[in-house]
Amino acid sequence: MIRKNEPLTPSPRDQVRVLFCCWGNICRSPMCEFMLKDLVRKRGIADRFYIESAATSTEEIGNGVYPPAKARLARAGISCAGKTARQLRKDDYDKFDYIIGMEPLNMRYMLSILGGDPDGKLFNLLDFTDTPRAIADPWYTGDFDKTFDDITVGLEGFLKYVSIE
C-alpha cells in the first residue's frame, strides 16, 4: 500500500517526473518507461510527464532492451527504439518526483545509491494497486506477458494516484 496520503506535488517544471528502476534496466524498468509514455500519449497528457528508467546495477549499462521485452512491447505497438541501460545516480533524487522500483531488492539498492529517501519519493510499482507485491523479473521467469500485465495494472494505479487525466 502507498505510504503517503497525498500524491507528491509535481516539480516546479510543471511535469510529473517519473524514474522507473530495476536491476539491469533492460526488462522491467524500460517496459514501464515506454508503456507509461504510450499510456499518457494515448490519453493526451504526455506533456504533463517526463519519464525515464535506470538500473540499480552496472551489469547491463549501455545495452539495449532485452529482446523478449522489446518483442512484448512491440506486440502492443510500443517502440523502445534507442533505449540503452543506464545506472541510477544520486543526483536523480533531485530530478524526479517519483522513483519507482519493482521489488524489495530494487528498493534496497535504490536507497543505497540515493543515500536515503527523505522526501518519500521511492515506491514499488504495485504499491499503487490493491495487490501490492513484487513484479517478478522476466529475465528469470521468462514470462514477459505476466510482467506486461502486472506493469499495466501498476501504471493504471499510478495514474489514478497522481490524478492526472
How far apart, in whole angstroms, are the C-alpha atoms of residue 15 and residue 141?
A: 35
Strand order across the 49-55 sheet: 49-55, 16-22, 98-101, 122-124
Examine the residue annotation and report whether 80 is marked as an active-site residue of this protein.
Answer: no
pTM here is: 0.91
Instruction: Note whether 19 and 52 are within 8 A (CB).
Output: yes
Query: 109, 129, 16: which is closest to 54 by C-alpha?
Result: 109
Query: 51, 4, 31: which is closest to 161 by C-alpha?
Result: 4
Could you please state the CATH topology (level 3) that the domain comprising 16-162 is classified under. Answer: Rossmann fold (3.40.50)
Instruction: Note whether 110 and 92 are within 8 A (CB).
Output: no
How far apart, in whole angstroms, are the C-alpha atoms of residue 78 and residue 32?
A: 11
pLDDT attached to residue 163 = 82
Catalytic residue among 21, 22, 32, 80: 22
How far apart, in whole angstroms, are the C-alpha atoms of residue 118 and residue 89?
A: 16
Query: Residue 27 corresponds to which cell in the numbers above?
Result: 526488462
Q: Give, for all 165 residues of the chain, the pLDDT tens digit.
A: 444 445 544 444 589 999 999 999 999 999 999 999 999 999 999 999 999 999 999 999 999 999 999 999 999 999 999 999 999 999 999 999 999 999 999 999 999 999 999 999 999 999 999 999 999 999 999 999 999 999 999 999 999 999 865
Catalytic residue among 38, 97, 127, 137: 137
Catalytic residue among 28, 38, 80, 92: 28
Query: 33, 60, 27: which is closest to 145 by C-alpha?
Result: 27
Examine the residue annotation and report whether 27 is marked as an active-site residue of this protein.
Answer: no
Query: What residue spans define the domains of the chain?
Result: 16-162
**What three-state secondary structure class fits 138?**
helix
Instruction: Note whether 29 and 66 are within 8 A (CB).
Output: no
Query: Residue 83 corresponds to which cell in the numbers above?
Result: 533505449
Examine the residue annotation and report whether 137 is marked as an active-site residue of this protein.
Answer: yes
Instruction: Note whether 159 and 165 are within 8 A (CB).
Output: yes
